[in-house]
Amino acid sequence: MVQGNRDAPEAGGPFSHVTSSPSDVEINTSLRSWLLTVVPDGYRVIQGQQNGTAAPSGPFIIFTPLFRRRIATNASSYTSTTRDVVEPMELTFQISAFGDTSGEAVQRISALWRDMYAADWLSNYTSGVISPLTASEPRQTGFINSDKQYENNWTIDLRLQVNFTVSAPQQFAQSITVDLQEVDASFPDNKE
């Protein structure tokens, strides 16, 4: 899709100060940081769908976002200048481990994602914005490398809840002046 000049949003328009959090970068950083705490030493953990990037040497994990699904109705709150809308979403990430110990790596991820370890760690790291939900069963998905050789590749899908917050400017009345007027004097009865 191409955006022409006439389609450009107006600078300073009503949505120019709308903010949202967490960002995709913050979500990816949180998941990557958690994965690094549980996989065997020596693993590199990288985000999937990176153009122009060769697979690293040695054992590695690629995590790729798959789905976003709303899981509850929005909740709203107000500050002195904004309306904050919280939208709970379920995000699904595919975690693919490559290397001789990829089965062990995915087993650790599976066990600890379903444990308080992941809930506590993510709660502390993200101030409760991200929390683990469920995980699929680990599966061996085989991988043929550039030398046409099979390599160990284990995969698991992790589902997490992210409470996205969108903040929009909101006008509020600071004060109001009420002036009393007698109805009969202001609006005389014309029935005569």
Residue 171 is part of a domain; what is its CATH number? 3.30.70
pLDDT digits (tens, 9 = 90+) for 21-62: 999 999 999 999 999 999 999 999 999 987 777 777 889 999
Distance (Å, rounded) from C-alpha 27 to C-alpha 91? 10
Least confident among 8-12, 35-39, 110-114, 148-152 = 8-12
Q: How many domains does the chain have?
A: 1
Give a yes or no: residue 160 inside a domain: yes
3-state secondary structure the chain: CCCCHHHCCCCCCCCCCCEEECCHHHHHHHHHHHHHHHCCCCCEEEECCCCCCCCCCCCEEEEEEEEEEECCCCEEEECCCEEEEEEEEEEEEEEEEECCCHHHHHHHHHHHHCCHHHHHHHHHHHCCCEEEEEECCCEECCEECCCCCEECEEEEEEEEEEEEEEEEECCCCCCCCCCCCCHHHHCCCCCC
| pLDDT at residue 5 in the model | 46
| pLDDT at residue 151 in the model | 78
Least confident among 29-33, 120-124, 144-148 = 144-148
Give a yes or no: residue 125 inside a domain: yes
Q: What is the mean pLDDT of the chain?
A: 87
| pLDDT at residue 143 in the model | 74
When pLDDT is averaged across residues 68-90 and rounded to a whole number, the result is 94
Give a yes or no: residue 77 inside a domain: yes
* Parent domain of 69: 17-175
Give a yes or no: residue 151 inside a domain: yes
Give a yes or no: residue 181 inside a domain: no
When pLDDT is averaged across residues 164-185 and rounded to a whole number, the result is 85
Give a yes or no: residue 161 inside a domain: yes
Give a yes or no: residue 22 inside a domain: yes
| pLDDT at residue 125 in the model | 96
Distances (CA, A) of 108 to 32, 54, 59, 104, 178: 14, 26, 15, 6, 66
Give a yes or no: residue 95 inside a domain: yes
CA angle, residues 28, 29, 35, in degrees to nearest 5:
90
